[in-house]
Amino acid sequence: MSTSERELRNRLHAAEETLRAIRAGEVDALVVARAGGEQVITLAGAELADHLLFDQMNEGAVTVTQDGVIAYCNQRFADIVRTPRARVIGAPLNRFVPPAEQAAFEALRQKGTRENARGDLTFRAGDGAPVPVAVSFAPLHVEASAEVIGVVGVIRDITERKQQDAVRNRLIEQVMTAQDEERRRIARELHDETGQSLTALLVGLRTIEESRTRKEASERAHRLRGIVAQTLEEVGRLSRGLHPSTLDDVGLPAAMTRYVREFVEQHGVAVDARIEGLELEPLPPLLQTTVYRVLQEALTNVARHAQARGVNVRLLRDVDTLELRVADDGIGLDPAVRADAVAEDRRRLGLQGMRERAALLGGSVEVDSQPGAGTTITARFPLAGA
């Protein structure tokens, strides 16, 4: 047999083997040499047989050759990189990776040729926008062989997760800041009120020691007893401000009623309080504490800034929602400056602190106010999953 006949027979054998593999569904794509260069063509039969499942995935799926070229991708991956699928197949996968991520990407892909590899990266979409993704690579073997011909990749868009993480981190930071501000407030009260009372007690005890008559000592001791009683009341108020024991003992309605009564006695502002729907079943402890804190902030704002004569407090519960509304008849807020005031002066208004607490439970806080028409603060909390 001549050399030309042998070469022709070999080509015929290769063609027959290729046709057999295509008919058996063993071939997903072909690389075709054309005048404009090589082009990867995905076989329709292969898509119907094997790739239909991948096209239904919520994650992007790719098969990548040893030299990093995409031999197949599903529609979800094309959507993630915002590039037509026909332009994705046959392109190097690192085309969608920005320069700053190239080293990390290549290390992950190389690891994926030996074992399962996972990592978070940032891809670059066809329009140039960054896309945070979670990438998983695994070796792609020849059937019934240990030979690795590339990697299989699953790419998941984690933009929403990153946004949620950013919101959660911001909320945690804000809550920690609010806690520090609360500690500073308590420290000031301990220093200004309790500290002064204890100093007065110390001075009074010295004057008793210097008393010349029993009557004089008795009168001074009587005054000191009043200071002690006042100090105990201040310490009790601070303790209830930190965590009211009535929340644990008898629940939110009783704790709110007591706090409103103390507010009226301390500030001389009339409060009309109404609580409805809480007799059905107890609320979760964290929800009770959050509602109580929002009430504290709202009434503290009334005392410090509203110049109000009266306040209406309503706590209403229905099947799905718990709503707290605190409305005063004070001077109100100017809408033109309210947003800046809320953003820039948290300690003055305390509204940001309320929103942070509510957001952690999936709730919201709304403020309705006009100059001279008072302010209404409405906090709503979903009961599902509370």
The sign of the torsion formed by the CA atoms of 182, 183, 187, 193 equals: positive
pLDDT for position 77: 92
With CA atoms as reference, report the closest residue to 354 among 283, 284, 285, 290.
Answer: 290
Say if residue 131's pLDDT is above 50.
yes
Say if residue 183's pLDDT is above 80.
no
What does the pLDDT look like over 76-89, one tens digit per residue? 999 999 999 989 99
- 245-386: CATH topology is Heat Shock Protein 90 (3.30.565)
Residue ranges per structural domain of the chain: 1-40, 57-157, 162-242, 245-386
pLDDT for position 235: 78
Structure tokens at 385: 């999953």
pLDDT for position 104: 94
| C-alpha–C-alpha distance, residues 273 and 271, integer Å | 6
Say if residue 369's pLDDT is above 80.
yes
- Average pLDDT rounded to a whole number, residues 210-219: 84
> Among 33-37, 272-276, 357-361, whose mean pLDDT is lowest?
33-37
Say if residue 155's pLDDT is above 60.
yes
- Average pLDDT rounded to a whole number, residues 116-125: 92
What does the pLDDT look like over 314-343, one tens digit per residue? 999 988 899 999 999 998 875 544 444 444
> Among 151-155, 193-197, 249-253, 366-370, whose mean pLDDT is lowest?
193-197
Confidence band (pLDDT; 50, 70, 90) for 198?
confident
Structure tokens at 350: 């305390």
Identify the CATH assignment for 57-157 out of 3.40.640.10, 3.30.450.20, 3.10.290.10, 3.40.50.10240.
3.30.450.20
The answer to whether 57-157 and 245-386 have equal CATH topology is no
- Average pLDDT rounded to a whole number, residues 289-301: 89
pLDDT for position 243: 65
> Among 14-18, 202-206, 220-224, whose mean pLDDT is lowest?
14-18
With CA atoms as reference, report the closest residue to 197 among 216, 217, 222, 225.
Answer: 225
What's the mean per-residue pLDDT of the chain?
79
Confidence band (pLDDT; 50, 70, 90) for 103?
very high
The sign of the torsion formed by the CA atoms of 155, 127, 92, 71 equals: positive
Confidence band (pLDDT; 50, 70, 90) for 353?
confident
Show the 3-state SS of the chain: CCHHHHHHHHHHHHHHHHHHHHHCCCCCEEEEEECCEEEEEECHHHHHHHHHHHHCCCCEEEEEECCCEEEEECHHHHHHCCCCHHHHCCCEHHHHCCHHHHHHHHHHHHHHCCCCEEEEEEEECCCCCEEEEEEEEEEEECCCCCCEEEEEEEEEECHHHHHHHHHHHHHHHHHHHHHHHHHHHHHHHHHHHHHHHHHHHHHHHHHHHCCCCHHHHHHHHHHHHHHHHHHHHHHHHHHHHHCCHHHHHCCHHHHHHHHHHHHHHHHCCEEEEEEECCCCCCCCHHHHHHHHHHHHHHHHHHHHHHCCCEEEEEEEECCCEEEEEEEECCCCCCHHHHHHHHHHCHHHHCHHHHHHHHHCCCCEEEEEECCCCCEEEEEEEECCCC
